[in-house]
Structure 1
């Protein structure tokens, strides 16, 4: 199935956000289903009455969160992986706010503090898996890797932290936040990014081991300073 879209008239949000919202609405209404083929980039431009840039921005967002798959020589398709969170309205709602970088960073820092607090207060706290991921990162994060590869290795640490909370609500929200942040992570284009990331993760582990000495305010301030330089619009 190749769906035809009508022109975008509501410009209360960015054009790329409007395109993402359009896909979301069609998914929720059932007009688009897993496996359906989308119009080509040029067809979307013509149907929606927009330029190439917002179409590509929307495609990048939808691909990064697993809503669409791009198959070379075949086109763009709605993912067939129904276990993925591509049909979760939460992720689309958050995407609508994803251009507000300051609020995104603010939420992420307080969310990280929530994670730390949940883990250090667990009676059966066991951060060995997180420590193993960190040690793996020390060995694997090398300058010859691409920024995308380094970003994926970076996020392994944060996914391990999510898993240790053993809370499905936290895990799903956390994965959503990281997937939205992922395309905006640009720090691995800088020469000192690997060292900085490893230092940040080491400090994170120290906080997880802090126990009663954990100070949320100090942790938030430290994370904000670090992540403001790691994420930009």
Structure 2
């Protein structure tokens, strides 16, 4: 996570400048939805302002719906886009039809390809640490549920390393659908020798291209991975007349 730095701008009130500094972290994706903000004491020390100014800034951001304060826990970034709940009729419609699964893959191919390219360009060494940690966590994992969670964590770490706030927040709003698509790929493909090696190879290619700062290769690898998964599921569905649907994994 990036740190706040620099004195507040003199063109704004102190509280407004503190609020703008926090907003900049959110827009830069250094603070993602659900992340905890630095403590009041940390904000005071980093910005050289009083506790009263920090509290006024946090109150303003809370009033805008940008952050929420939880008693005894601190302040956290809110989701800036509405996130459909799994029990909503529209979400149930999405999860009940296989064609929607492929719609999700089409969106993921474009957005995650761009995220991988940006991560290779903009990612910090700390970002690369988390991407590498997530990549290594997938290795040799046999339990489908844990593998799905770690697979999603790998892709999420890449998105956050893009430092494109709009991209981060759009994918955050699609988190439920993305998680279901990852789970579907894992439950249908990861146990099959015909598909698992290629999926592992794709993950390694994505990881290497990003950490070696090769944006074109990173984008190509990320998009190829999502396309491969989608086509593999289509092939299985044709041959076996069915696949394990995301809704069946809940």
TM-score by length of 2: 0.45
TM-score, scaled to structure 1: 0.48
Task: Select the structure with the greater relative contact order (CA < 8 A; seq sep ≥ 6).
Answer: 2
